[in-house]
Amino acid sequence: MKFSIIKNKIFLIFFASFLAVTALIVLLLKTSTKQNKEDTLCFAQKSDNKSKKEMRAVWVSFMDLSMKNTDYSENAFKEKFDKIVMDCKRFKMNTLIVHVRPFSDALYNSEYFPWSHIVSKKQGENPGYDPLEYMINKSHEEGLEIHAWINPFRVQLNNVPNIFAQNNPFITFNNEKNNSFSVNFGTSKYYNPCNKKVQTLIIDGIIELAKKYKIDGIHLDDYFYPELPKKTEKLNAENFDDYDYENYCKNLSNTTKPLDHRGWRMQNINELIKTIYREIKKIDPNIAFGISPCCNNEVNYRIGADVYTWCKNEGYIDYICPQVYVSLDHPVLPFKKSANEWKNIVKNKNIKLYYGLGVYKAATGEDKGTWKNSNNILKKQIEYTRELGCDGYMFFDYQSLVSKQREEEVKNILEVLE
């Protein structure tokens, strides 16, 4: 009897111990699972924070990449670009906006545009290597993103370039009868934005870039329609596209009211922008598409840049970067006024707002001498726009960042770039 009681007690003790150990194991498993979830969440948050990093880009213009005064060799180009990359890293940049199509030409092997005189001795000459391919590889190797910056409509600016290759689309178009492909404005030449062949050329060129190169973004600047005089009701005799506008009006149905001339121009640009965005996303949704318009929206109105539509609706852009190249004390459009206006323009929460900052004006007599008021103007601009809630900055331009004249201003910028 006693043995049976003892046996039962031993069984109960054993069973209780088993339950306790089981409970402990379950508790440990739950704790481990919770910790794993927390670790996963923490990693996701860290990754998310990284993906939302502040844009710190610098425009690298065709002038920065010019091979003039060199032997135009591949090694000379690589040496030049390597220095640009290392300087930009030293200035805490994370993105390069590199000029790859400045004048209806290309700093890469293109089916549509001739080689640029920037990398060869004259437009149309093959330099024997692909500058863009090298720039992409070098940038990525050093942890930088790279956006391909193009001027869609500009053919020539102040007689640059002074010689056109025979395969330049500008030459090809102008050999056709009933030409309405381009317009001359003094010493500058532009493509006519309303022309369907011109639009197709621009779109095909961007598709080529997105398909052939591992770029992180495609970037258009503020060259759309040539800027005409300030007219709000009627455009003057300088209008090169009167014939095209009249045809547009004639081809509308009797029940459709035509847009005014400026509204029609904006529509031409809007249709192009929408098509570019759509074609880029078909190729790679991760390629960012952005535009850097003038900060002055009266000017944007005159050149057909409908920034309000782009920044409100889906399907136009991924980011906008107004070129707010004005001082804090600009006599007409001070920086804070412009910055506030642009913050209010961006209605679409999916569109990132970057501010373009004019390093090139620092320590100069620009804006009625107001850039000489202090040497921390750009630092204050960064601090102010961070308070507004922007997504980052693009600095114009590389040469200005490394300039001795702007050294103090740049040093103060670095204080607020972590």
Q: How many CB atoms lie within 10 A of CB 155?
A: 24
**What is the token pair recorded at 137?**
């590889």
Name the percent of the chain lying above pLDDT 70: 84
Q: Which two tokens stand for residue 16?
A: 């209780």
Cβ atoms of residues 327 and 370 within 8 Å: yes
Range scoring the smallest mean pLDDT among 172-176, 220-224, 261-265, 297-301: 172-176
341 pLDDT tier (thresholds 50, 70, 90): very high
Contact 369, 407 (CB under 8 A): no
The beta-carbon contacts of 311-314 under 8 Å, at least 24 apart in sequence, are 311/345, 311/346, 311/347, 311/348, 311/351, 312/347, 312/348, 313/348, 314/348, 314/350
Q: 4-62 pLDDT, tens per residue? A: 444 444 444 445 555 554 555 445 445 444 444 444 333 333 333 434 589 999 999 99
- Which helix (H) or strand (E) is 336 found in, with range? helix 335-345
pLDDT at position 234 over 60: no
The whole-number pLDDT of residue 52 equals 55
- Domain spans, the chain: 1-52, 56-320
Annotate 229-268 with b (16+ C-beta within 10 A) or e (fewer): eeeeeebeeeebbeebbeebeeeeeeeeeebebbebbbbb
Helix (H) and strand (E) counts in the chain: 14, 11
What integer is the mean pLDDT of 79-94? 98
Reported as a single tens digit per residue, the pLDDT across 121-174 is 899 999 999 999 999 999 999 999 999 999 999 999 999 999 999 999 999 887
Identify the pLDDT of residue 179: 65
Q: How far apart are CA 5 and CA 90, in angstroms?
A: 82
Cβ atoms of 406 and 399 within 8 Å: the answer is: no
Q: Band of the pLDDT at 238, cuts 50, 70, 90? A: low
Q: Which residue has the higher pLDDT, 230 or 388?
A: 388
pLDDT band at 297 (very low <50, low <70, confident <90, very high): very high
8 A C-beta contact, residue 333 and residue 301: no
pLDDT tens column, 250-278? 999 887 899 999 999 999 999 999 999 99
- Give every CB contact of residue 385 below 8 A, 6+ residues apart in sequence: 339, 355, 393
Distance CA 384, CA 338 (A): 12
Q: Which fold has domain 56-320?
A: TIM Barrel (3.20.20)
Residue 323 DSSP symbol: B
DSSP string of 28-40, one letter each residue: HHHHHHHHHHHHH
pLDDT bin (cut points 50, 70, 90) of residue 185 is: confident
Alpha helices in 162-320 (DSSP H): 169-174, 196-212, 242-250, 261-283, 297-302, 307-312
Distance CA 222, CA 324 (A): 12
Pairwise pLDDT comparison (239 vs 83), residue with the higher score: 83
State the pLDDT at residue 56.
Answer: 98
The pLDDT score that the predictor gives to residue 174 is 77
Q: Is the pLDDT reported for residue 201 higher than 60? A: yes
As a whole number, the mean pLDDT across the chain is: 88
pLDDT tens digits for 305-331? 999 999 999 999 999 999 999 999 999
Side by side, the strands of the sheet bearing 188-191 are: 154-156, 188-191, 182-185
- Average pLDDT of span 195-220: 97
The token pair at 278 is: 């759509």
CB 336 within 8 A of CB 384: yes
Q: Looking at residues 211-224, what average pLDDT do you find? A: 96
DSSP letters spanning 88-144: HHHTT--EEEEEEESSS-BSS--SSSPBPTTTSSSTT---SS-HHHHHHHHHHHTT-
The strand pair at 352-358 and 182-185 is best described as: unpaired
